[in-house]
Amino acid sequence: MKMDKTIAGQPLAGPETAPAVAEIRGVTRTFGSARALDSISLTVRKGEILGLIGRSGAGKSTLIRCLNGLERPDSGSIRIEGQEITDLSDRALQPLRRRIGMVFQHFNLLSAKTVIDNVALPLKIAGVAPAERRRRALELLDLVGLAARADAYPSALSGGQKQRVGIARALSANPALLLSDEATSALDPETTHSILDLIRDINRNLGLTVLLITHEMDVVRSIAGRVAVIDRGRIVEEGAVADVFARPVHAVTQSLLAGIRPQLPAFLLGRLGVNGTGPAVFSVDAVGADAGRDFARLFGETLGAPVHLVHGGIDHIGDQPVGRFFFRAEADRLAILARAESLGPAIHVEFLGHEPGSR
């Protein structure tokens, strides 16, 4: 069914004033005839949590490997803290790689080493003295709540504890950027929340910049301030998480959001037709203070007919209320869309169709 859409105003996005920690410009990477990254551009700014979301095979892993220098792009520019890395030798890349911490999906801990030795390993490789390695590792284990398990081996830890060790290890060299690569995908929901809370606390307390790579929009909306959607090696949508959640434009974003964003019940959607003569059904999306407005009354006053709430409600992303509502009214498409134009820049109205019957 074809649908008419109107957006009153532009996306809500804060000023991007913080300096860039990572800048990717026009990066392309091809494997044989497959283009994993296609002229991709993205900026990660100091102190933010940026969520990079996409389906499997979208290019997320290749982008990570290009960021830490494990893959060389065919073309384009990558700067870490202002330094171009694409033309550096492997030797020259080593100090820069220590500025990038990595948290992995499957933990990547060494089973033959204790927790404290796993955390201290990057420091050992960097030539830090044993006493300082131990002091720093204990400090980080205390930060992630595992100081009491310093002498345990990974096999004695739960999945969540292993990931906390992985986070402590990633922080050992005081990185400028933390890459979280599907860090919660192997964890149960309760443990996932605890790990996300830990990453949020580290971001807030240490001011650490985080690039959160995931295929789960629910993870992104939990802690990220901004989100970029990658599909077939391109960034297809980018913006504040609350704004993208409320008004996804690209079909891939809409698909990724389908499980957590209110949807019109299928039995009702299937009854709608563009040229029907029964009551009209339409959706209203709003961000911020506008999410609490009385849309039934606002539309009813203009349409001169009762407007009934069919489905929806208000969610919160960070400190931003995000509302999505579905209404039914004895009105036509043009009258609904005309009223939508006057509602302000945070309102998105979509006409979904008419129910069967006569008005």
Instruction: Tell me, yes or no, whether 226 lies in a domain.
Output: yes
Q: How confident is the model at residue 171 (pLDDT cuts 50, 70, 90)?
A: very high
CATH of the domain at 329: 3.30.70.260
Instruction: Tell me, yes or no, whether 5 lies in a domain.
Output: no
How confident is the model over 112-133, as a mean pLDDT? 94
Can you tell me which residue has the tokens 């004695």? 156
How confident is the model over 341-353, as a mean pLDDT? 83
Provide the token pair at 80: 């870490």
Provide the token pair at 86: 């694409």
pLDDT digits (tens, 9 = 90+) for 141-161: 999 999 999 999 999 999 999
User: What residue numbers bound the domain in which 283 lies?
Assistant: 266-354
Rg (CA), the chain: 24
Q: How confident is the model at residue 12 (pLDDT cuts 50, 70, 90)?
A: very low
Contacts (Cβ under 8 Å, ≥6 apart) of 310: 264, 268, 281, 326, 327, 328
Please tell me the chain's helix, strand, coil percentages from 3-state DSSP, rounded to the nearest 5: 35, 30, 35
Q: Which of 9-23, 112-126, 134-148, 301-315 has the lowest mean pLDDT?
A: 9-23
Residues 163 and 281 in one domain: no
Count Cα atoms within 13 angstroms, Cβ side, for 201: 11
Check if the beta carbon of residue 335 is closer than 8 Å to that of residue 295: no
Residues 279 and 317 in one domain: yes
Instruction: Tell me, yes or no, whether 194 lies in a domain.
Output: yes
Query: In the listed set 257, 284, 304, which residue is the last one of a domain according to the structure?
Result: 257
| DSSP of 197-261 | HHHHHHHHHH--EEEEEES-HHHHHHH-SEEEEEETTEEEEEEEHHHHHHS--SHHHHHHHTTTS
Instruction: Tell me, yes or no, whether 3 lies in a domain.
Output: no
Residues 93 and 42 in one domain: yes
Residues 272 and 194 in one domain: no
Residues 118 and 240 in one domain: yes
Helix, strand, or coil here: 279? coil
Which H/E stretch holds residue 37?
A: strand 34-45
Query: In the listed set 234, 257, 280, which residue is the last one of a domain according to the structure?
Result: 257
pLDDT digits (tens, 9 = 90+) for 265-323: 888 888 898 877 789 999 999 988 888 899 999 999 888 889 999 999 998 887 789 99
Sign of the dihedral through C-alpha 149, 155, 161, 162: positive
Tell me what pLDDT residue 138 has: 96
Sheet holding 4-8, edge to edge: 4-8, 347-354, 280-287, 320-329, 307-317
Q: How confident is the model at residue 358 (pLDDT cuts 50, 70, 90)?
A: low
Residues 234 and 115 in one domain: yes
CATH of the domain at 53: 3.40.50.300
Contacts (Cβ under 8 Å, ≥6 apart) of 130: none
Residues 237 and 271 in one domain: no
In the chain, the number of structural domains is: 2
Residues 272 and 253 in one domain: no
Start-to-end C-alpha separation, the chain: 21
- Which letter does DSSP use for residue 273 in this model? B
Residues 158 and 183 in one domain: yes
Tell me what pLDDT residue 218 has: 86
Residues 208 and 74 in one domain: yes
Residues 275 and 128 in one domain: no
pLDDT over 50 at 66, yes or no:
yes
pLDDT over 80 at 136, yes or no:
yes
Residues 329 and 284 in one domain: yes
Query: In the listed set 230, 257, 284, which residue is the last one of a domain according to the structure?
Result: 257
Provide the token pair at 32: 């044989």
Buried b / exposed e along 18-43 (16+ C-beta atoms within 10 A): eebbbbbeebbbeeeeebbbbebebb
